[in-house]
Every structure is written in structure tokens, then in C-alpha cells.
Amino acid sequence: MKHIPTALVIGIFTLFLSAQANAHHHTAQAIEHAAMAKAHGEDGHAKVLLQHAKEALKHA
């Protein structure tokens, strides 16, 4: 019974850290897709720009 609060705190802390790591990954993907959308927009590729813009919004 003494270890239940400790295990609970460790579990919550682990969950919090994994959520932050996952959020960072999605942010990086959103930035990457936004940059690719910009590049395709400058080249005049509207369909590809739209695809990358949608992906960027999914990850944002």
C-alpha cells in the first residue's frame, strides 16, 4: 500500500513526458510540411501545395 502513491506519480510523470515528446514530433512535421507547401507554391504546383498545407494543419 505504501508504493501505490509513488507508482501513480511515476506513471503520471511518464505520461506527461511522452505527451511532450509526441507534441514536439508533430510540431516538427507541421513545420516541414509548411516549408514544402511554400516551396511548391513558389514553383506553381497548386495541387501539391494544397496537399502539404493540409498535412501541416493536421500536425499543427
Q: What is the pLDDT of residue 31?
A: 87
- In percent, the amount of the chain with pLDDT more than 90 equals 2
Quickly state the pLDDT bin for 19 (edges 50, 70, 90): low
Q: What is the pLDDT of residue 40?
A: 84
Average of per-residue pLDDT across 33-50: 88
d(CA 54, CA 48): 10
**pLDDT over threshold 80, residue 48:** yes
DSSP state of 44: T
Grid cell listed for 14:
511518464
pTM of the model: 0.60
Give the ranges where 1-60 is alpha helix by DSSP (H). 3-43, 46-59
